[in-house]
Amino acid sequence: RLKTGESVVVKVQRPEIEKIIDTDVSLLAFLAGLMERYIPETRVIGPKIIVNEFFRTLSYELDFVVEANNMSKMAENLASFPDVVIPKVYKHLSTSKILTLEKLDGIRVNDLKALDAAGIDRKRIVEIGARAFFKSVMIDGLFHGDLHGGNLFILPGNRLGIIDFGIVGRLSQKSRDQLATMVMA
């Protein structure tokens, strides 16, 4: 709880996690190189490319400033959706290794018994989530890349709370146009 009374969540990066990840990725890169060298069939899928992309994505997840910026941009993009709640970021209390956020009090979206007991309109929640996701993907080109039951909460009033913006996806206008054409076809 802040001195001003707000309930917060403080996300703290584990000490030495960068070294652990570097070691793990180095091992994966070594194995990928061996696969490409000794199992020619794997060259089609490009194990080294996959490992490099994995490491690039993971490095963004290690910087909480990036996550804070993702959250702020997503909150701005979804401001027209009053039923979607993205926690406020307390940037003055956050760093690259500490992220301080507004605490959302709700029911995890995968706790069906609790949702039913609370009288939550599950169809309405799905509609809210689908509309917000498709706006994020098709209009904004910036979307949550790790949506699962642990990152989604149902808040009072049939509102959808979304947390953990360490992984986001980005699509260029060209990619969005191609996706729209594919869907229409």
Catalytic residue positions, numbered:
146
Q: How far apart are the first and last CA of the chain?
A: 51
CA distance 84 to 105: 14
145, exposed or middle or buried, with CB in 10 Å at 0-12, 13-18, 19+? middle
Return phi, psi of residue 108, to 5°: -60, 140
β-sheet with 107-108: strand ranges across: 84-85, 159-162, 152-155, 107-108
Q: Residues 6 or more apart from 84 whose CB is under 8 A from it?
A: 78, 128, 129, 132, 159, 160, 162
126: amino acid identity, one letter: V
